[in-house]
Structure 1
């Protein structure tokens, strides 16, 4: 049974309170496993042609209300602030968007800790400020379905004037939705209250819909501020897109330098991620990988850290525990539920191999698009980059950084708590190098039509 079939079994229309027919499917519908797809970036050269393209694309963008349909592909559309300006959205309405969105990701490099190799001056041209106006994402179950979706999108683009395709990047994970380092990813996803899909074991409860979709009650009891008018803002959300090249060869060399046997290297990698490659969490399988556990959504996320407060099973500074501390005791007080995110990340390049060497990293052919959705997207990513990823104060680790996605301008350290003395491993490097990104707004389906009709 596929992941989408399992989601359909969990769907109950009786518990739906959201306007699913108006919300883009990409927000609430998980990607298939395995999956293929494409990210396309477009620039608006003139407003009338751009509005016409949005109008023609809107009918092809599936809604979140299609749980009873066996879609083999779906398209998502999101706009940058400069894209909204290029469409001719009035200044008074533009000012109702969050300031970080107005400024764009490159201008927020200080808040995002995008320094050194990750700095905007090193980004690909498509992500240089003002270039990307519209980002289209297509997820498909296989290459045939992707080709069908591309034919649809290209037909609409070919009929357009005043719009330029400035970049496209195919992606896919044919091997069980694993990331460039060979680990199953995007396992832990929050359940959204009112979406009709109940939480899986380990998720405790559904998070208020307003944390992810504009116009609904948030965890603080009130809707978050949203762009005006309501026809533009409601049922939309914000998106963070960050493209990374993954230095798989460098990661392999690090493991070999610190592990004499294959078992030692696999254990160290699992400690750094917080899971084994199959997705099995260390909390439930501390001594060895368990592929059956890793593939079972009823079990692979059903855990907490109450019996591991010191991180002797799952290190406090590992990637998984940093980005979702769950019930960990944090030195920096944080409401974890307001930093939950819906992840739609995508992997590109050859599947993982332990034979990849550091010299192979120069090809830049492996990596991932880190994409997440949240009504607090910009506050959340900047908080994560500052505190959870590029510092360790919140778990008493000082300046120690995330061993997988942290920026290590000098060789860093990874701490594994154990008795009688903790183990410190030096030589951690930047294993994922930023190649660009943007802050985006994903409108509702009705807002896409509204934008297309404005003059």
Structure 2
């Protein structure tokens, strides 16, 4: 059922556009920028010019016809480099100030995902103050040619005398169907991506069941705005702590940037070998890992086969609960989507509402054709973006307790089969079904299908805050 959501009035002109929804632009370039500490005034002037180009949420609800977009985020070191007052800096969360690399144990970034093995641009940012990533620019465009053309204009702003220098960039974008060469919402493991969006109060879109929070009467309503935007009540329901002054924080959010390398060869090999032992075959096994068939059909609604009509229906493909699947016979207890959003499972849905995150991101690298095994050294994966108002309560909790631990799902130490740092020792229990006498199946020897290759924590300011930072007029009270 689609109805208009109850709204909290938001100043869409002040909120960066990609917070609300992914743009209908299939190509992106994520640019990593350093600020010269000897040219702070020039850097502020450049930031002011860039701010005038930032795409706001006024492009919604219909962004059809949009040819390119630009968004900006700042690291804690970036805020320091731009001269924010100490009173403001110390009001930011400690997790943000520490940065992602220093949170590696909590995040499970060990072994092949350890920061010492990240891409050079991220290693340098962590080790060399002269190569710190201060500013993150996201350039989105309708195709690669338009992306390159728009970026060339921005590169001129970042040239000599700008007070800024480009440390590097990462190109990302949707994959193309090998037959039609049309862009598709599929990632390198073959799953449909971008289905489970989040809905919060004030979003300029029609309400869609399954994207917000579940009420006792079975209806769905938007989540509190403050779970994702700073300066608004959250699900507590109080205004959470936010950086000061108020105008610096309001309408902004915090963002996680993670480059996730996908070991496609290991994934395909494991599926092929394990499906020889699994009665349902390879495609059902792949669906059990995630909780959805590869076309996006939820197992809870269609446990025996893909349903393209259901998968394509935005009003149905997220509108489900686990009340009729308490034992995990349809969607396993340890499946990826149960971990990311437990919904009504295990009677802690209200707590789960405090852990929701906005997920954005695009694939990077060349896709390995389905009829080829590929190689784990092939450069491809996902540039994974998360937005939330509280790193520790939302992203870090999900990553630590739900991705890398299974106790909340009665799965002991079992990790997420896809995202978990399993390192060849992981396992996943696929529950049986007493109604059909299907026995449980245990997948053992799970390798790490995903490795972290870089990332950090960022602040996504409102346009008001960006202008204030650029002008150096952040109040000290």
| TM > 0.5 | yes
Q: Deviations over 1:78-122 (max 9, x none)?
A: 110011111111222100000100111111112212111111111
Instruction: Show the 5 A alignment for 1:150-299.
Output: 150-158=151-159, 160-173=161-174, 174=176, 175-203=183-211, 204-260=220-276, 264-299=281-316
Change in 2 beyond 3 A, CA 1:430/1:356: farther
**Shift in Å, 1:191:** 0.9
**Secondary structure at the counterpart of residue 377 of structure 2:** helix
Residues 319, 404 of structure 1: 8 Å contact kept: yes
Deviations 1:394-420 (A, max 9, x none): 111111100000001342111100035
**Secondary structure class of the residue paired with 1:107:** helix
- State the 1:369 CA deviation: 1.3
Kindly tell me: are residues 38 and 166 of structure 1, through their superposed partners in 2, closer, same or farther at Cα, counting changes over 3 Å? same
Flag the 1:353–1:411 CA change in 2: closer, same or farther, 3 A.
Answer: farther
Partners in 1 of 2:309 and 2:404 — Cα distance?
33
Name the CA distance, whole Å, in 1 between partners of 2:443 and 2:369: 23
Superposed displacement of residue 23, structure 1: 0.4
Tell me the CA shift for residue 160 of structure 1.
4.4
**Distance across 2 between alignment mates of 1:333 and 1:306:** 12
1:80 to 59, 75, 83: 75
**Distance between the aligned counterparts of 1:145 and 1:220, measured in 2?**
44
RMSD of aligned alpha carbons: 2.2
Structure 1 CA distance for aligned equivalents of residues 335 and 404 of structure 2: 12
Equivalent of residue 402 in structure 2, options 383, 388, 399? 388
Q: For residues 392 and 133 of structure 1, do their structure 2 counterparts lie closer, same or farther at Cα, with a shift above 3 Å needed?
A: same
Deviations 1:220-242 (A, max 9, x none): 11111111112211111100111
SS in 1 for 2:57: coil
Q: Which runs of 5+ in 1 are unaligned?
A: 1-8
- Which one of the candidate residues 110, 115, 139 is aligned to 1:120? 115
* Partners of 1:26 and 1:76 within 8 A in 2: yes
Deviations 1:313-335 (A, max 9, x none): 000101111101111116x8861
C-alpha spacing 1:185/1:64, structure 2 compared with 1 (3 Å): same
Moved more, 166-175 or 393-402: 166-175
CA 1:250/1:74 → structure 2, altered by over 3 Å: closer, same or farther? same
Of 313, 335, 339, the residue aligned with 2:355 is: 339
Q: 1:253 to 1:159 in 2, by over 3 A?
A: same
SS in 1 for 2:268: helix
2:55 to 15, 39, 62: 62
How far off its partner does 1:62 sit? 1.2
In the TM superposition, what whole-angstrom CA distance separates every residue of 1:348-402 from its partner, at most 9, and x where no partner exists?
A: 12235333436x1113x11001111111134322211211001110111111100
CA distance in 2, matches of 1:352, 1:397: 33
The reply to whether residue 30 of structure 1 matches residue 25 of structure 2 is no
CA distance in 1, matches of 2:81, 2:53: 22
Find out whether 1:414 has 2:406 as its counterpart.
Answer: no
CA contact (8 A) 2:365 2:380 kept: yes
In the alignment, is the contact (CA less than 8 A) between 1:180 and 1:248 conserved in 2?
A: yes
Query: Is the alpha carbon distance of 1:216 and 1:333 closer, same or farther for their aligned partners in structure 2, counting shifts above 3 Å?
Result: closer
Deviation at 1:16, TM superposition (A): 5.3
Counterpart Cα distance in 2 of 1:196 and 1:383: 28
- Which of 41, 45, 51 lines up with 1:52 in the alignment? 45
On the 8 A contact 1:248/1:356 being kept in 2, the answer is no
Helix, strand or coil at the partner of 2:158: helix
Q: How far does residue 263 in structure 1 lie from its aligned partner after superposition?
A: 7.1
